[in-house]
Structure 1
Amino acid sequence: MNRARWAVTRAVLGTLGRASTGIRIGYRHGFDSGQMLDYVYVNKAGGFPLVGHLIDRVYLNAVGWRAIRARRELLKDVLRKEIALRAGAERPEGPVRVLDVASGPGRYLQDLLPEYPPGAVQVACRDLDRAGLAQGERRAAERGLTGISYAYGDALDPAPLPHAPDVVVVSGLYELLLDDSVIEASVARLRGMLAPGGVLVFTTQTRHPQLEFIANVLPNREGALWEMTCRPVELAEQWARRAGFTEVTSRRETVGLFTVTTARH
């Protein structure tokens, strides 16, 4: 019975659902892609007139996407505080360097940059999704942003930067990985990349009421059905402490599905 129900749901979403711009993006790039998140952040319904817009608004109002937007706002707040701790009138080490290892287009980072004087903050965006990187580069050029760069890179095996980053961000990646040992190894590897006194900022999904629907209906960026695992924030903090971080704290976004953890070198 469940198999037939999910098959019907997939058929409806893959036909009528494509009247929604957001659902079309999901089928083209993956519902877990950077382009999908970028569209969710904008939160402006699109698609065919009337029915498409209505479907898209329902889609964008799903609890998971509302939590994603709340996670972004919390993440921006955390990064503002971390940058403020390091930014000064004359910083001998140069600009505050931020690395996002799985950035996608990096919209929230572009939103942060104009809050600082030119040259005070440098952002490096890395991702395996070339289309997302190109989208971010185009938008940065349109906005006249010079303090942000985009390059192809593997979040789980990041290439070193010319200067060690002060802040490393991992947002929305660990939620997609099913193997805890891979995440724990990533946390330890990123600690080794940080400048002295640096901080790792990463997100964790602790619960999601639509996991069964997502795993049976929505394709990911690789074309397979999108499976996710929820984990207690205590486990995420444990990974950071085992990696050698000495000060580890977490905050939960307002919808209540995600936490943002800061782990200091």
Structure 2
Amino acid sequence: MIKGLKNARWAAMRLLLGTAGRLSRGVRIGYRHGFDSGSMLDYVYVDKAHGSLVVGRLIDRVYLNAIGWRAIRARRELLKDVLRERIAEQHGEVFILDVASGPGRYLQDLAEEYGPGSIRVECRDLDRAGLAQGEGRARERGLTNISYAHGDALNPPPCERAPDVIVVSGLYELLLDDSAIAASVERLRGMLAPGGVLVFTTQTRHPQLEFIARVLPNREGNLWVMKCRPVEQAEKWAVDAGFTGVTSARESVGLFTVTTARR
């Protein structure tokens, strides 16, 4: 009986979000591209409510204020600070590769902040829509030191030049197989230039995991299931892969950590 009531509640929430919720632009993007997609994160980063009529904008503001999205915006700011530290310690042009970037809005901010000759950024993703969105915005901003390429983050082809920094943001949280993450960390270490740094994120907790897994579809059209892990496990992946100087920092909302590890 209790299980049946819970299932009915989740079904009602899916119905409500899929109907009235679509007045929110953010919810519409989630249903079109997946709530875990780069296009969705790009919209969340902007943090401006849009929707049909006043009620749509109100729904969108509530949606954008959800704790998970607030934490992702805080994670972005922490990532930018970490990357600035890595850029400051390098000599010459710093090559940054993001293997699951989506549109890469925050990377464009860094590319603009430092300019050509200081950093070069390559954004890769499997989501062609997100890549096209990023490319278009980069052209509008006149950025010449950022590029986009279709690619699998878990089976990345080598770059023409070994990256000084590799970023994996928001990907490992979506993978349920720990061994796949461990293999990815080891593979990315082999791609880095000597002394290069891997920067990756981990979700350590989320108070809305069940709601997300029961209501929100991911980019494949399935319900979005995530897995939280302790930061100690994330650091162990890096140590076991042969990295040194492994450290982690937590964003201000407290759901994600950013780990840095040196080859």
The answer as to 2:12 corresponding to 1:8 is yes
**Distance apart, 1:113 and its partner CA:** 1.2
Partner of 1:47: 51
Q: In 2, distance between residues paired with 1:119 and 1:97?
A: 10
Does 117-126 or 25-34 show the bigger shift? 117-126
1:81 counterpart = 2:79: no
The aligned counterpart of 2:141 is 143
Q: Is the 8 A contact 2:115 2:145 kept in 1?
A: no
Measure the CA separation in 2 of the matches of 1:134 and 1:189. 27
CA contact (8 A) 2:126 2:152 kept: yes
Gaps of 5+ in 2: none
Whole-angstrom CA distance in 2 between matches of 1:227 and 1:126: 23
- Runs of at least 5 residues in structure 1 that lack an aligned partner in the other structure: none
**Aligned 1:2-41 pairs, distance under 5 A:** 2-41=6-45
Shift of residue 192, structure 1, vs aligned partner:
0.2
Alignment of 1:123-202 (within 5 A): 123-202=121-200
Aligned residues: 259
Secondary structure of 1:182's match?
helix
- 2:112 counterpart residue number: 114
Q: 1 CA distance for matches of 2:67 and 2:202?
A: 16
State the percentage of identical aligned residues. 77
Q: CA deviation at 1:117?
A: 3.7
Once residues 122 and 157 of structure 2 are traced to their aligned partners in structure 1, the CA distance between those partners, rounded to angstroms, is 12
Aligned to 1:259: 257
Pair 1:57 & 2:61 matched: yes
- Tell me how large the CA RMSD over aligned residues is: 0.6
Q: Output the CA distance in 1 between the equivalents of 2:49 and 2:119.
A: 33
| Separation (CA, whole Å) in 2 of partners of 1:221 and 1:153 | 16
CA distance in 2, matches of 1:53, 1:246: 47
1:233 is displaced (CA, Å) by 0.2
Deviations 1:69-94 (A, max 9, x none): 0000000000000011104xxx3xxx
| TM-score, length basis structure 1 | 0.97
Structure 1 stretches of at least 4 aligned residues deviating more than 4 Å after TM superposition: none
